[in-house]
Structure 1
């Protein structure tokens, strides 16, 4: 039976959830599919091409190719798009690492164009609209990288939290840490996102 491209991607994503990106190899994937490794190269010229296809499939699953509606509230749209992006990255083990370094493909251009148009309609130049989108995208990827790293290392770091005694000479740091220690991750993500959106709003107000 001929190996189908979609089957390879779907199996690779399932294997990623099991072994993580460091454990994912074309040899292991070929074994899971019941084929020899060269069979994969009919569809993907190398492992990087496979990883890019996996990252794209992860974004499609999350609806990240959805264009912004003309006239939508720019702040609400971008905030929800960032939350959807975060959920997409969290949907797979090492999702942020899988996505990092990818670039928009033609199928995604309409969504990028629509969000750019939303910001340009508020007064930003196209270059600044793209800068804003890139800044938020990298914020989301960085945030999830930290989330997934913390989750992976949770057992090894048990008991390593900073004790109050360690912060005794740093009252501002201690106060901030006390507030953040048990904070809700979703709320903290939205707080950081709000700072970026406030920056865009300030640029628009100039």
Structure 2
């Protein structure tokens, strides 16, 4: 029998996610995988939702470990790189976007504040920085959700001839650029002296 602790439970749950997908992850399957009785999992997680929250947090670890911006960074380049890192991390796990959607980054609040402070210090109005980060984050989750849903259809059939094949990375980059361009434009407008 494997020695079980909270970290092992989360790690095995993420491996199970990659194997069977989010819809099929269950505490029963996880307990069987760990070689323990299902009720023993409640020692570590009171509810399945608590387990899913811990899984989402652990799945985001690569993005959470990305370097924070420095005062010398160009905020526009950083904004793009930050969202690309977020996308890559979501794509690392099967159903990564679904797992992450709706989760609250309780352990990441300090990093989020530091990112916001960087944008504001760089001249981006605070409200615009907040809305752009929210919009770009949701755009990223939605983009990955669609990409993973298409990859997970697995029926082997080709799309109809009149429907173009989507290059998900190019589509993501195009949408992200549009969000950034809007933020750059709003920032420039607010920084411009008023006309007399």
Q: 2:57·2:105 contact (CA, 8 Å) conserved in 1?
A: no
State which drifts further: 67-76 or 27-36. Answer: 67-76
Q: 1:62·1:85 contact (CA, 8 Å) conserved in 2?
A: yes
Instruction: Measure the CA separation in 2 of the matches of 1:96 and 1:77.
Output: 22
Structure 2 unaligned regions, length at least 5? 190-196
**Over aligned residues, Cα RMSD in angstroms?**
1.9
Pairing of 1:151-170 with structure 2 (within 5 A): 151-155=151-155, 158-163=157-162
Q: 1:123·1:204 contact (CA, 8 Å) conserved in 2?
A: yes
Instruction: Measure the CA separation in 2 of the matches of 1:77 and 1:139.
Output: 17
1:187 aligns with 2:186: no
State which drifts further: 58-67 or 131-140. Answer: 58-67
Distance 1:64 1:78, change over 3 A: farther
Structure-2 residue corresponding to 1:94: 95
Instruction: Measure the CA separation in 2 of the matches of 1:39 and 1:126.
Output: 46
Cα deviation for residue 72 of structure 1 reads 1.4
Instruction: Measure the CA separation in 1 of the matches of 2:23 and 2:114.
Output: 35
Instruction: Measure the CA separation in 1 of the matches of 2:148 and 2:142.
Output: 10
1:198 aligns with 2:172: no
Distance 1:23 1:183, change over 3 A: closer
Give the TM-score, by structure 2 length: 0.88
Structure-2 residue corresponding to 1:24: 25
Instruction: Measure the CA separation in 2 of the matches of 1:62 and 1:9.
Output: 17
Q: Deviations over 1:71-124 (max 9, x none)?
A: 31111111111111111111010000000001121x312321122112212333
Instruction: Measure the CA separation in 2 of the matches of 1:73 and 1:159.
Output: 42
Structure-1 residue corresponding to 2:193: none
Q: Deviations over 1:140-174 (max 9, x none)?
A: 00000000001111426x244252xxxxxxxxxxx
State which drifts further: 66-75 or 8-17. Answer: 66-75
Distance 1:103 1:61, change over 3 A: same
Structure 1 unaligned regions, length at least 5? 164-176
Q: 1:136·1:196 contact (CA, 8 Å) conserved in 2?
A: yes
Instruction: Measure the CA separation in 2 of the matches of 1:154 and 1:162.
Output: 18
